[in-house]
Amino acid sequence: MGFFGKLFGKKEKESLDQGLQKTKESFFSKITKAIAGKSTVDDEVLDSVEEALVGADVGIDTTVQIIKRIEERVAKDKYLNTGELNRILREEIQGILVDAPENSYAGYKLPEGKRPYVILVVGVNGVGKTTTIGKLAHNFKSAGYSVLLGAADTFRAAAVDQLTIWSERAGVPIVKKEMGSDPASVAFDTVNSGVAKGADVILIDTAGRLHNKAHLMEELSKIKRVVQKVIPDAPHEVMLVLDGSTGQNALEQAKHFTAATEVTALSITKLDGTAKGGVVLAIANQFKIPVKFIGVGEKIEDLLVFDKGEFVDSLFKLEE
């Protein structure tokens, strides 16, 4: 049992099950057809499983890896029962997911010994980045921490306005400047303020532009440098927010951002609105970066700490 059952409770587990409903219904309808009338796992079954994985946006490379490992297991037992296919798939899919390090936020708990804990949030516009920051703020505050937001996406007035609304909704303070201000200056003032106020966690929003990767790299590097003038080992996390409903486009965005900066964690949003939730596997496998949060609904509580065991359990459970 993962942390959902131990620390989050039944309500969050139900949110996860419901959030993955479209993906698992699509996936399992194909798996069910694949094994109908079959007593053993043969090439036809494996072809259908491969089609189901690709259809869930697991991605070609990750799908090939999973199928190859299943083929190896089938080769050891020529008469592998199709009834065992779900168990094997569960094991192989869980094996694809990267183990989260100790700062996995179970129960929204922050790592010890780093205060303020600075999280730099990156991602293109429209993926749910600002909403994710707002939900993080709410949930960290609910866990008993003092939270401060920094509006360093100063290129869009709407971004600052939206983050301000979230700060009010979550009941946490925000540091912001006028549109067009230097993002690094906002980040510096935010961290200074967080230290002065004794904040536990600081969440800094950044501009979501990809048209000029060199400029993006320069901007993020500058933000890191000024933050480190106040807290030498900050930021403690660089979190990339991706929209799970965009499937393979999310992979392209991950390529750009991992090339521009050192991304240490992923937050994947909007999984409730898509049948392509398998993109979580594709992204985690390709970039070897742990998924730490997933968005499975619009409610403020619907940003869940990711636990790969619970994720796979929900993926393979159509009904309670």
Which of 78, 96, 114 corresponds to the end of one domain? Answer: 96
pLDDT at 293: 93
> Can you read off the two tokens belonging to residue 194?
């967080």
Domain tally, the chain = 2
105 close to 239: Cβ distance less than 8 angstroms: no
Residue 120 φ then ψ, to 5°: -95, 120
- Report the alpha-carbon distance of residue 73 to residue 17 in Å, rounded: 29
Phi, psi of 300 (to 5 degrees): -65, -25
CA neighbor of 175 nearest in space, from 203, 149, 206, 207: 149
- pLDDT confidence of residue 80: 65
The tens-digit pLDDT sequence of the chain (320 residues) is 343 434 446 777 788 888 888 877 777 677 777 777 777 778 888 888 888 888 888 888 889 999 998 888 878 766 566 677 778 888 888 888 877 665 679 889 998 889 999 999 999 888 999 999 999 999 999 999 999 999 999 888 888 999 999 999 999 999 999 888 999 999 999 999 999 999 999 999 998 776 566 777 888 999 999 999 999 999 999 999 999 888 778 888 888 888 888 999 999 998 887 777 788 888 888 888 999 999 988 888 889 998 888 888 887 765 44
Range of the domain at 158: 106-307
CATH of the domain at 86: 1.20.120.140
Sheet holding 147-151, edge to edge: 174-175, 147-151, 201-205, 117-122, 237-243, 265-269, 291-295, 303-305
Q: Residue 259 in 3-state DSSP?
A: helix
Two structure tokens written together for 260:
């521009």
The CATH number given to whatever domain includes residue 191 is 3.40.50.300
243, β-bridge pairs: 269
Per-residue CA distances from 240 to 43, 130, 183, 206 (Å): 38, 12, 17, 11
> Which pLDDT score, from 0 to 100, does residue 79 have?
59
- For residue 300, the SS3 value is coil
In a domain, 101, yes or no: no
Helices (H) and strands (E) in the chain, counts: 13, 8
Give the model's pLDDT for residue 268. Answer: 92
96, 116, 138: which is the final residue of a domain? 96
